[in-house]
A and B are shown apart, each in its own frame.
Chain A
């Protein structure tokens, strides 16, 4: 009887062990949830796309310079190579904002909202200048913000009250007024942007530009233009500190 009892105990313990193992497996498989990695895949795709875009623009730049070298090399005489250089200068000046540009774009006028401000909707485009009713509430950051939105939506060039914004342009409050570089501008402000008008305008809508300016008692009058002229940068700048990196070691 004792032996039999022991046998049962043995078998029982064996089976319990098996059940234990099974339970453990089951638990383990339940505790390891399937992780979702799709976010990181989307992120990786975006990174890859950026790299591909960079690749494309690098190739474009390289072919541009190759062409320039070819043009220099194939010019028959000095006069011709100088004209090649002049062309390159004109192209570069355009990039730097030193030439006026023409094309499709949008014009934004910031005018005082007609009185009383709360009943007037943005649909009311009367454009009357209720001067002096509101304090000059538009500040430099408002204009910087607006210009930044335009650039972010593909604006190729932007001017404010006829002053072109270039890579070094500062927009800042000086006393009561706003200065663009060294020029003081007065309201009403007119911002011109060259680019796809639809994209520019929907970009401004998306960012809530109109609502933001409404808070300062201004109405925006936004217009699409098929043809728009953005003036050249018209201040003289003397380059004192920067110089091209000439001796870049081989990488």
Chain B
């Protein structure tokens, strides 16, 4: 009886020791993986912090740039008041700056919002009901044809060499990525712009069946300046 008891205890103790060893090995492995996760997490946090810092810095730089532009225009304005020749040139300069997209502009216009149909995922042909880059180009093109003077997509000013690309659910304009909804802002005669989009068989009718698109006419919209290198300089003769 005593022997049987002893055997039973021994078996149990050995068994539990085995489990102990197994668990300790397992937990060491787990903590190793955790440490790796921890490292990744730290890396992520670091990256996030750098991005935030960089964004803040960029915001300050943008303010500084706007300030400088204002200073420049003050100096130019003063010159224009003194001399008629300067006034002539300034008028041309203002126009050229607006057309080049290097200064923020405001005026009456429209805001077109495009996004995927809410139930796109449920339909059998998903690609039919999402916004494609050609849809965005189509709207932009129609606005241009209707006399839009300045256009931005999700806050990116379209300039003479802007490309509009879609990658997955994001749109890339001027190399800057942003997500849906795609908000196209245009300055021009609101009535003309809205009518052009609303033409029978026009853009709105074509797209409405496939994507969610709304057009709002506005008395005043603001379109930011294009921020970037002066790329033309290097190629000029």
The interface of chain A, by Cβ under 8 A from chain B, is 8, 11-12, 15, 18-19, 22-23, 25-26, 29, 32, 34-35, 37-38, 40-41, 44-45, 47-48, 50-62, 64-66, 68-69, 72-73, 78, 81-82, 85-86, 88-89, 91-98, 101-104, 140-141, 144-145, 148-149, 151-152, 155-158, 165-172, 194-195, 237, 239-246, 248, 251
Contacts and interface: CB of A to CB of B under 8 A. Distances in A.
Interface in B76-127: 76, 79, 82-83, 85-86, 89-90, 92-109
Contact of A241 (B65, B107, B145): B107
Secondary structure call for the B interface: helix
A96 B160 contact: yes
A242 B105 contact: yes
A58 B134 contact: no
A82 B160 contact: no
B237 A34 contact: no
B104 A239 contact: no
B17 to A, nearest CB: 11
Contacts of A195: 235
Contacts of B232: 94-95, 101, 156-157
Nearest to B55: A51
29 contacts: A15-B15, A19-B19, A25-B26, A25-B27, A26-B22, A29-B29, A34-B37, A37-B44, A48-B47, A55-B57, A58-B227, A59-B61, A61-B228, A69-B71, A72-B72, A78-B86, A82-B85, A95-B100, A96-B96, A101-B235, A102-B235, A141-B134, A141-B137, A152-B163, A156-B235, A168-B144, A168-B148, A169-B144, A243-B106
A35 B189 CA distance: 53
Contacts of A240: 149, 189
